[in-house]
Structure 1
Amino acid sequence: MCLLEQINYQLILSDIYEEIANIDYEGNVANYIPQLAKVNPEKFGIHLCCLNEGNYAMGDSNEKFSIQSISKVLSLTLAFSMMGDKLWERVGVEPSGNPFNSLIQLETENGIPRNPLINSGALVISDILVSNLVNPKADYLSFIRKISGSDEIQYNTAVANSEKETGFRNTALINFMKSFGNIKNDPETVLDFYFHLCSIEMTCKELARTFLLFANHGTLTGTGECIVSRSQSKRVNAIMQTCGFYDEAGEFSFKVGLPGKSGVGGGIVAIHPDKYSIAVWSPKLNKKGNSTKGMKTLELLTTRTELSIF
């Protein structure tokens, strides 16, 4: 039991898992990325980490999967730690209200993405990291391993190459922003880095442990190292709250009430500041690109614990 809240998280997760594990929710795996189309759609894992080191898990929580857009929060965090508030000169902080790969707003907003968690915004963040890291892919992976506490985390090159072969919309986005001067490096170099960061594989346990950073106000729980300031962590959490689920962010806030981020690999991670982080993996996605079973899991969690940030 998590002593700070006197809540039996294991019992709650067990009840939720038993309730929805065998329900055939509507949705499909991300079949527009060939490697992700091969994933078993019936996989379902949950892992919750408390700040007091309590860990609670169900199902396929120790199986690795491609975290995809969840990595955008981590690349944003690294860029923010380097650039400070100058970062916001190149990317906004407003919800887009459009699909994650939309081109529509870039035309009227002069190549400045609406926020860093849509594809165009994450490409700008990737460009910033390519400019500021000596060896971008190796240095970024080292950063992920440090904040996760695991040296076993790797890129999945097959997934990265699969995305590169089919990433025509991302190629259009980056070249469009390049025409406005908001991409400084060679687009192919930035795209290669971006596809690799999306391909990172984690288990639910590793992902939940990584995101304790944001439940702990920017400080690593194991070492006490400050990765971003308390103020910067607050802003990253705010962006997750308002932009972490693309054009379904309002729905997630309404039903779940936690900062979080989804990925088309079927993962969702969410945090409750000062309490816990939780990762859920179920590959079937709804029409907005979010895990159907993952969304329901988190809705039931905050309903039954009667705890959200609101």
Structure 2
Amino acid sequence: MRNPVQDYLEQIVAQCGDAGGEVAGYIPELAAADPDRFSLCLATVDGQVYEVGESDHRYSIQSMSKPFTYALGLHDQGIEAVARKVDVEPSGDAFNEISVSPDTGRPKNPMINAGAITASSLVAGDSGDERFARAVEWYGRFAGRELELDSSIYSSELGTAHRNRAIAHMLREFGILEGDPEEVLDQYVRQCSVAVDTRDLALMAATLANGGRQPRTGEQVLDPALVEHVLSVMTTCGMYDAAGDWVTAVGMPAKSGVSGGIIGVLPGQVGIAVFSPRLDPHGNSARGVALFERMSTDMEMHLMHVSRGSRNAVRSSYSLASARSNTHWQGADEEVLDRVADRAVVYELHGDLLFAGAEKIVRTVVEDGPELASSTSRTSTTSPT
């Protein structure tokens, strides 16, 4: 039995085709990327992953690493210590803008490069190598598997990191960075060069959606209070100078990367990742933005919609053999009911059935399908909320 969620995702991918844009040209390895590669993955908070396109194609995580590095800094140092080094205010600037507070020298937020370089320095460790090793291991815990550096991307990006190098030295001059800025820059570039696929990113996003618990391994990677902090910054700052448009049109915490990826988090419900290398003028995947807007509209995924958790959507299910109707059937109707009672399933639903609830219901029905004969009848009843 085909899953309607899979059908829907394939349908909107076909409908949201080429949205224009150009691949990132300032890093040679990214400039050589195939602009027509595409993948979309949606991961639920209980570990179901839906995939469309080349979901196992690997590319560099780039700025999609920023929320997770920031989370690690918060985990290691605490909110107050991190706040002394990097603020949480939207900058309204492009991702590589030299944007710092004129009185303190603090970067405006950890989602722009200046703040992300600072966040890298706040990962605990005695050297850049040790901090990078901890960061890549941390990303892997969110993804549910070990991740590795793409050395070709790292070499290509480090060789062209002139603006980021200037930012790092400026931060050292202001006392925001301590120690050698070149070591921190190298660590930051390596973090951006970690190889992921779209399935990894969807599960990383789903871990944030699940309050910091990895949906498949069950590990509580990040404290829920810190998850709230990270998601708040992603909401206001994750899409750079397009953050306002994103929040109003899509309405979920998100982060983009110049390799062509976007991750989105719908708390309590799903993590979503899209990969399409053509970028819009803000440095965000053009097709990815279009797909997120479509999903948000169709499935009411905007964060301002309040719904119950998906795990509560199916209150109970049972066969008619175990709970016969109070209606007294006669003749042929009673005969049919007797014959199929053990193969007719009643699903009792409740709650506000938005995307996550509806996905849970259709997945339950699809998974039960093979156990039922093709003549199985299904009845659903919805109780008041």
Which residue matches 1:94?
89
Is 1:145 matched with 2:140?
A: yes
Unaligned runs of 5+ in 2: 305-385
Counterpart in the other structure of 2:78: 84
Residue from 44, 62, 67 that aligns with 2:56: 62
- Secondary structure, aligned partner of 1:279: strand
Residue 227 and residue 195 in structure 1: after superposition, are their counterparts in 2 closer, same or farther (change >3 A)? same
Q: Is it true that 1:122 corresponds to 2:127 in the alignment?
A: no
1:15 aligns with 2:11: yes
* Aligned residue number for residue 4 of structure 1: none
Deviation at 1:147, TM superposition (A): 2.1
Asked if the contact 2:45–2:270 (Cα under 8 Å) also holds between the matched residues in 1, the reply is: yes
Shift of residue 223, structure 1, vs aligned partner: 4.0
Cα deviation for residue 138 of structure 1 reads: 2.1
Q: Distance in 2 between matches of 1:176 and 1:165?
A: 19
1:62/1:205 contact within 8 Å kept = yes
Deviation at 1:180, TM superposition (A): 0.9
The answer to whether the Cα contact below 8 Å between 1:76 and 1:125 also exists between their aligned partners in 2 is yes
Contact 1:268 1:294 in 2 (8 A): yes
Secondary structure (helix, strand or coil) at the match of 1:46 reads strand
* 2:314 counterpart residue number: none
In 2, distance between residues paired with 1:110 and 1:232?
24
1:228 to 222, 227, 233: 222
1:32 aligns with one of 26, 31, 45: 26
5+ unaligned residues in a row in structure 1: which ranges?
Answer: 2-6
Instruction: Specify the alignment match of 1:301 in structure 2.
Output: 295
> 2:86, 2:107 → 1: CA distance?
5
2:262 counterpart SS class: strand
Alignment correspondent of 1:252: 246
Q: Which whole-Å CA distance do the structure 1 matches of 2:41 and 2:218 have between them?
A: 22
- Using the TM superposition, name which of 136-145 and 124-133 deviates more: 124-133
Secondary structure, counterpart of 1:211 in structure 2: helix
> Quick check: 1:283 aligned with 2:283?
no
CA distance in structure 1 between the partners assigned to 2:105 and 2:168 by the alignment? 9
| Alpha-carbon shift at residue 108 of structure 1 (Å) | 1.7
Task: Please tell me the residue identity of whatever aligns with 2:143.
Answer: S
Q: 1:69 to 1:109 in 2, by over 3 A?
A: farther
2:47/2:216 contact within 8 Å kept: no
Does the residue aligned with 2:265 lie in a helix, a strand or coil? Answer: strand
Between the two proteins, what is the percent identity of the paired residues?
Answer: 34
Partner of 1:166, secondary structure, is coil
Q: 2: distance between equivalents of 1:14 and 1:97?
A: 34
Which residue of the partner structure matches residue 44 of structure 1?
Answer: 38
Once superposed, what is the RMSD of the aligned Cα atoms?
A: 1.7
Q: What is the CA–CA distance in structure 2 between the aligned matches of 1:304 and 1:59, rounded to whole Å?
A: 21
Question: Could you tell me whether the CA contact under 8 Å between 2:203 and 2:215 is conserved in 1?
Answer: no
> Any conservation in 2 of the 1:130–1:185 contact (CA below 8 Å)?
no
Q: Hey, what does 1:188 align to over in structure 2?
A: 182
The letter for the 2-side match of 1:122 is A
Could you report, residue by residue, the CA deviation over 1:37-91 in whole angstroms, capped at 9, with x for unpaired residues?
A: 0100011110001112222111122211111000011111111111111211110
1:272 deviation in Å? Answer: 0.7
| TM-score, normalised relative to structure 1 | 0.93
- Of 93-102 and 226-235, more deviation after overlay is shown by 226-235
Q: Which residue type is aligned with residue 227 of structure 1?
A: V
Question: Per chain length, whose mean CA-contact separation is higher, i.e. which structure has more relative contact order (CA < 8 Å, sep 6+)?
Answer: 1
Report the Cα offset of residue 146 of structure 1. 2.1
Distance in structure 2 (CA, Å) of the matches to 1:26 and 1:273 = 30
Deviation at 1:287, TM superposition (A): 0.8
Cα distance in structure 1, aligned partners of 2:226 and 2:67 = 12
